[in-house]
Structure 1
């Protein structure tokens, strides 16, 4: 590994990674480290800086896992997830945004026609378009099969979309999205179909300010009789839900890695704080209880990192890693929450101050237990795999 990225190879969390992965992470960290001033401004103003998308693409985000034949980099799951750890460590809003755009790119690469790839995927991978993915509704969150947004078939072969999607990341600043809607409610999940929708088609977004990842938009997307042509069906009619599941392992893995990034940031901040702040005439680091808190943060972070990396390696080997990715998502998300809580405690009153990094880590960690399947849904899916009994249906 010597000489791969100069001084950056000193990071002990990279010790077991291959040289090419270290180079990728080094480039990403170098870019992300220059965003510090932008973070405070955008979090305060709840603004997503669209100007950073192209540089993020250049260092490997979004196009990383896409095959070279489609304009991507062909990165492994481990490499892509490791990038997401870097994003989580620097700014969780980037991890959230790029994870969704990566999912959109993966679905287009997997199921898009040549024309769809030319119109949507190619500009997405160059940073010229911003995409979003809409499956969730007020009454269809964990139960994705309950999608009620309707896609009414038209005589000319197109569809009229009507319904409201909720909590949709990127929709406020993105210019196109993938919408899951049913062509026939009587068919249940077998009627759910994926459609490509552009802003010019006439959908409306309503922003909902939220507690975590404040530089990311979270919107309702209102589709009021939005008409799309037959060429906007992504994949096969009635196969939208299975298409969405195509990217589920990668999505959960990316969230897991981002959570480890948050945990690592908590560890970095806590170590600096306890070795520079004094109380009762000595460093905080000299107190036994403080040492225990920092040790717990470090141990949990290391364990979570090993779990997501082992899951990534399973995916890269071609093994069915659904359970492993669910375990990683469950454990890493809950670890981020626990670690961020400890980091706030380590910092004391200043850790509760809005604008302080650990206050942001705490909010962002809490978000991770919900998207890409809540912790409770992961437990139920893992339980079904282990016990052979479903607690859902």
Structure 2
């Protein structure tokens, strides 16, 4: 199915065309093999970076492409429709670049061209084994010793944990609560920064997260991003935008599942006619299509608020909540449309079904999104 996209400029249309061309050349036919091997497609990500797709929402003067979020998210959607692990990697990397871009020192920001150009891949180390949703309760600790920070603790569920070139490490430099949290940036290979074996996961196996152990990891004092104690605020700023990225991934995945289900239903015959002509199945497809369109509309509405410089945190939570729940429903129904064929790996529907689940969890579970939305309603924001 061709999506009728409303893009703001001719440049944006050209960018989407470039993305589709890259998908055909670099992604087509690769997902299943990489997923089966649980191998991270680092060179594919590097190629996308060199093509300008890893720095889309960042200004040109720091090495980005200066595109509005409305356009960037539609690029993510396109990538997710071909291979979710790639789109998720782009979204997480874009998130990981934010602390240095928005709060980094002049020296730190000198690395932005390599970050945004794909030569340096980022990881965002916020979650911990005992604290995912309650990020303000993190226990990883950084102690100042002369001109160094000494970091001790553990991080969990870190995308690019074993493959990143730089790590945003959110850690406690002060007392309890969010005001005691700071952000440090560390290079891969820093002594004491120890990525662990990747998790064995249900989906996104080619981009499986890893725990990170920080065992007396020593970082120069100038690796502090922003002011001491500002780490929690930096993390939440980044996550607002990151939730839009995950919502875009969900829309792309759902659209792919819908397209595949429609094509299958038009070709598969039972009782002498295509199964798409049976009302029970036709109504199922109609509901799937409506979910995808509604999710995309909610996502782009939130993106336009961000692009206009208006508050968008609550709308980002709504978009993430609705789009990822929709992706779970649509992929579930796609498996149902295919029947027995949907349950075997000869068709991609079973992989999409497995992958959709994680989108309801990452960048804040959907229960956390409901909490954000309900609190905004109570406060009248």
**What TM-score range do you get, normalising by the shorter chain?**
over 0.9
Among 66, 71, 74, the residue aligned to 2:66: 74
SS at match of 2:53: coil
Equivalent in the alignment of 1:162:
152
For 2:117 and 2:6, locate their aligned partners in 1 and report how far apart those are by CA, in whole Å: 31
For 1:389 and 1:153, locate their aligned partners in 2 and report how far apart those are by CA, in whole Å: 41
Equivalent in the alignment of 2:353:
362
Among 36, 40, 50, the residue aligned to 1:48: 40
Equivalent in the alignment of 2:221:
230
Q: CA deviation at 1:389?
A: 9.2
The farther-off stretch of 235-244 and 32-41 is 32-41
Equivalent in the alignment of 2:373:
382
**Uncovered stretches (5+) of structure 1, i.e. residues with no partner:** 1-9
The farther-off stretch of 205-214 and 56-65 is 56-65
1:64-122, Cα deviation, whole Å (9 max, x unpaired)? 0111121111110101111111121111101211111101222211111222122x322
For 2:338 and 2:9, locate their aligned partners in 1 and report how far apart those are by CA, in whole Å: 35
- Contact 2:7–2:71 at 8 Å: present in 1 too? no
Among 178, 187, 191, the residue aligned to 2:180: 191
Q: CA deviation at 1:383?
A: 0.6
Q: Which segments of structure 1 move beyond 3 Å, counting only runs of 4 or more? A: 15-18
Q: CA deviation at 1:23?
A: 1.3
1:296-340, Cα deviation, whole Å (9 max, x unpaired)? 111111111111011111111111111111110110010000011
Q: CA deviation at 1:282?
A: 1.4
Q: Give TM-score, length-normalised by structure 1.
A: 0.93
Equivalent in the alignment of 1:179:
169
Among 58, 61, 66, the residue aligned to 2:53: 61
Q: Does 1:291 align with 2:260?
A: no
The farther-off stretch of 198-207 and 64-73 is 198-207
The farther-off stretch of 16-25 and 211-220 is 16-25
Q: CA deviation at 1:59?
A: 3.9
For 1:371 and 1:15, locate their aligned partners in 2 and report how far apart those are by CA, in whole Å: 28
For 2:50 and 2:74, locate their aligned partners in 1 and report how far apart those are by CA, in whole Å: 16
For 1:342 and 1:357, locate their aligned partners in 2 and report how far apart those are by CA, in whole Å: 13
SS at match of 2:200: coil
Q: Give TM-score, length-normalised by structure 2.
A: 0.95
For 1:17 and 1:228, locate their aligned partners in 2 and report how far apart those are by CA, in whole Å: 43
**Uncovered stretches (5+) of structure 2, i.e. residues with no partner:** none
Equivalent in the alignment of 1:272:
263
The farther-off stretch of 368-377 and 33-42 is 33-42
Change (3 A) 1:136 1:241: same
Q: How large is the RMSD of aligned CA atoms in angstroms?
A: 1.6
Among 85, 102, 107, the residue aligned to 1:110: 102
Among 311, 316, 334, the residue aligned to 1:320: 311
